[in-house]
Structure 1
């Protein structure tokens, strides 16, 4: 990272940012083209969960190329100034890499959906039995991640 003073290495801070973020931008590669898609997500125990239709470009790519990059940000604020070069953006972000796994086990699938719902303040019981089998739940096993903050974390919490 070029500006080392902005890097966030502390795992507990990175996890806090993951717990606060609602949208994850998922970076995929189909072997020819990059593809970035936002997903609603939840985080628990070193894993990101999101749900999807079983069909579509995202799922087609993940089946063949499960290695992913992800990005989340929070506390984004545009800071204005007198001149164009005085403008900046305050933010906290996490970028990471991992492997996406299509969850097939029904108990883990329901737990993944609960993790997502908890993140969004929704109910965690009452999933319709006819919907669960046709919903894809994807788990990203995080291999590595780092964070960045402007201004440096601690100066602007």
Structure 2
């Protein structure tokens, strides 16, 4: 590849990154990017585990959680004490990842094995939900995400004890494997 082509490519990528907010970046395989808000929402509503990346004294800190998605927010429940709450109080900015419908795709040759997947990666800020009614609503969203019927009864004492985290999504993008549509019989 000539030096001029490389320079042009680097300038194009740098310009695209500069034109987005601090959280977004350039996806190299644009044909695999999911930008449709409805599809992103479907993935967020189907997934049951979220991975939340935080910064703890300059070091990455990643944890998996059960969660619920509703109203462009992600809700997570927590015990009232622990490292994650300490870390989030220091810096509530987070990165998250979820995926749905993953499957290994076998092949005759080792390096041709693949995986079918769809995922969402996003950024946002976490806050602690304080009001009783909002906590109850958030817990109901979490329960529904995992198959429970709406408006299940909650013990008020348990709601007071539980900490509910609300992640307000600032930006997100999705990605699906190049074989997604073909393997699902959609193309």
Sort the TM-score into its range (normalised by shorter chain): over 0.9
Aligned to 2:59: 33
Aligned to 1:7: 33
| Unpaired runs of at least 5, structure 2 | 1-26
Tell me how far apart the structure 2 counterparts of residues 77 and 65 of structure 1 sit (CA, whole Å).
Answer: 35
Contact 1:6 1:153 in 2 (8 A): no
**Runs of 4+ residues over 3 Å off in structure 1:** 152-157
Q: Secondary structure at the match of 2:81?
A: coil
| Greater percentage in strand | 1
Aligned to 2:170: 143
Is residue 128 from structure 1 mapped to residue 155 from structure 2 by the alignment? yes
- Could you report, residue by residue, the CA deviation over 1:108-135 in whole angstroms, capped at 9, with x for unpaired residues? 1110000001111225332112111110
Quick one: higher RCO (CA 8 Å, sep 6+), 1 or 2? Answer: 1
Give the TM-score of the pair, scaled to structure 1.
Answer: 0.95
Give the TM-score of the pair, scaled to structure 2.
Answer: 0.80
| Greater percentage in helix | 2
Figure out how many residues of one structure are paired with residues of the other and give that number: 157
Aligned to 1:84: 110
Q: Aligned match of 2:91 in 65, 73, 82?
A: 65
Contact 1:101 1:140 in 2 (8 A): yes
Change in 2 beyond 3 A, CA 1:11/1:153: farther
Contact 2:70 2:141 in 1 (8 A): yes
Tell me how far apart the structure 1 counterparts of residues 104 and 152 of structure 2 sit (CA, whole Å).
Answer: 39
The structure whose Rg is larger is 2
Tell me how far apart the structure 2 counterparts of residues 52 and 35 of structure 1 sit (CA, whole Å).
Answer: 16
RMSD: 1.3
Tell me how far apart the structure 2 counterparts of residues 16 and 121 of structure 1 sit (CA, whole Å).
Answer: 15
Q: Secondary structure at the match of 1:131?
A: helix
Q: Secondary structure at the match of 1:18?
A: helix
Tell me how far apart the structure 2 counterparts of residues 92 and 11 of structure 1 sit (CA, whole Å).
Answer: 14
Contact 1:5 1:152 in 2 (8 A): no
| Unpaired runs of at least 5, structure 1 | none
